[in-house]
Amino acid sequence: MELGIREKLPLSEIARNFNAYLMGTDRQISKFGNLSSVTDKPQQQLTYVIAEKYLKSFNTSNIGACIVHESLKELCIKEKSYIITSENPEQLFYTIFLNHYQSGHFKTLSSTRDSSTIIAPSAVIHNSVVIGKDCLIMDNVVIMPNTIIGDRVTIKPNTVIGGDGFQVKTLEGRRKVIPHVGGVKIMNDVEIGSSVCIDKGLFGEFTTIHNETKIDNLVHIAHSAVIGESCTIAAGSSIAGAVTVGNNVWIGVNCSINQLLNIGDYSLVGTGSVVIKSVLPHKKVFGSPAKTIGLVCKCRADIISSEEQLVCSQCNNRYAFVEGQLVEVS
């Protein structure tokens, strides 16, 4: 699910309106994004590149259209579509994005609220918010537009759901925090502690918290992150933009996870760790920077080597490495 542009825009029209020109096939654009953005409509996405290596990445991606500086046009290929500009492509991209944001061109949700949900009188629920059954929303919670909350969700005092993330760009000589046009989706049976901030997606995607994940106090989850099922995120941790956390992951107190990383299923991030590279499933990592210090079973006990086999120290589940990945074996 994404919140794109209300009506598709011809790429040729975008180019003409911003003193650039189209190279390649004209396309209907329904969303914006960068090369790492997750979308189910890549052929309708407009992105940008600022260097040759990124243009090569775009050319081999499934994204349809790109803003490119005229000095790189010889590297453009006929299968793709380009807006060719003499300006800085990144600044032009965000200028176009802000223009459509200020014109109200992006979709929003229709508000609904189940009567079984309990909402404290001091909570602030904005328009364009969907709330399911049997939720508890406590004192001074703020829920911003384009938020979807499932069933049996608890949100504790002073938490903010759906604010803008921290995407800072220099446009027209001024540093600006870019407004976000996506949302937040919180699935069923999630519990969110006090003074938590969960930012909405940047380009129309949803920051997502999946079923039965539990989030402690003072946690920050940045724009476009995806948190899997049955995760535990302890107090003070910070998860940066576009991070993907798998299922049944444990993140200890005061951890920091850098942007764009993947944290594999059943992994464990130890207290105070700074994660700067992706973590494979079942790995236990610790430190600053975080390094692998062991393996973790589904039951969260240590996996140990016994008689040339990998065995859980508690439940006796057996594991083996297959093509570099740890898998459970019968």
How high is the pLDDT of residue 64?
94
Whether residue 146 sits in one domain with residue 79: no
Q: Name which of 6, 26, 1 is nearest 15 in CA terms.
A: 26
pLDDT tens figures, 283-292: 999 999 999 9
Q: How many domains does the chain have?
A: 2
Whether residue 200 sits in one domain with residue 260: yes
List of residues 6+ apart from 222 with CB closer than 8 A:
165, 166, 199, 207, 238, 239, 240, 241, 242, 243, 259
CA atoms of 115 and 258, how far apart (whole Å): 39
How high is the pLDDT of residue 11?
96
How high is the pLDDT of residue 39?
86
Domain span at residue 75 reads 9-102
- Contact criterion met (CB below 8 Å) for 35 and 61: yes
Residue 307, in any domain of the structure: no
Bridge partner list, 251: 233, 269
Residue 4, in any domain of the structure: no
- In the numeric block, the tokens 């949803």 are attached to 206
How high is the pLDDT of residue 308?
75
Residue 64, in any domain of the structure: yes
211, two tokens: 């079923």
Whether residue 146 sits in one domain with residue 234: yes
Whether residue 142 sits in one domain with residue 86: no
Residue 310, in any domain of the structure: no
Length in residues, the chain: 330
- Domain limit, last residue, from 102, 128, 162: 102
DSSP per position, 162-212:
EE----EEEETTEEEEPP---EEEE-TT-EE-TT-EEEPPSSS-EEEE-TT
Bridge partner list, 149: 131, 186
Whether residue 129 sits in one domain with residue 51: no
33, two tokens: 């994004």
Helix, coil or strand: residue 99: helix
How high is the pLDDT of residue 305?
85
Report the CATH number at residue 49: 3.40.1390.10
Residue 314, in any domain of the structure: no
What string of pLDDT tens digits covers the 330 residues of the chain?
788 888 899 999 999 999 999 999 999 999 999 998 888 889 999 999 999 999 999 999 999 999 999 999 999 999 999 999 999 999 999 999 999 999 888 999 999 999 999 999 999 999 999 999 999 999 999 999 999 999 999 999 999 999 999 999 988 888 999 999 999 999 999 999 999 999 999 999 999 999 999 999 999 999 999 999 999 999 999 999 999 999 999 999 999 999 999 999 999 999 999 999 999 999 999 999 999 999 999 998 999 987 778 998 889 889 988 888 888 887
- Contact criterion met (CB below 8 Å) for 150 and 186: yes
How high is the pLDDT of residue 29?
95
- Contact criterion met (CB below 8 Å) for 82 and 54: no
Sign of the C-alpha dihedral, residues 229, 231, 236, 241? negative
Whether residue 134 sits in one domain with residue 91: no
List of residues 6+ apart from 309 with CB closer than 8 A:
318, 320
Whether residue 236 sits in one domain with residue 136: yes
Whether residue 122 sits in one domain with residue 53: no
- Contact criterion met (CB below 8 Å) for 329 and 297: no
Whether residue 292 sits in one domain with residue 263: yes
Whether residue 142 sits in one domain with residue 90: no
Whether residue 98 sits in one domain with residue 187: no
145, two tokens: 């537009």
- Contact criterion met (CB below 8 Å) for 281 and 265: yes
Helix, coil or strand: residue 120: coil
Helix, coil or strand: residue 59: helix
Residue 198, in any domain of the structure: yes
- Contact criterion met (CB below 8 Å) for 274 and 256: yes
Helix, coil or strand: residue 14: helix
Active-site residue set: 223
- Domain limit, last residue, from 56, 79, 102: 102
How high is the pLDDT of residue 66?
97
What number of other Cβ atoms are within 10 A of residue 196's Cβ? 22
| Residue 231 CB burial class (10 angstroms; 0-12, 13-18, ≥19) | buried
Residue 270, in any domain of the structure: yes
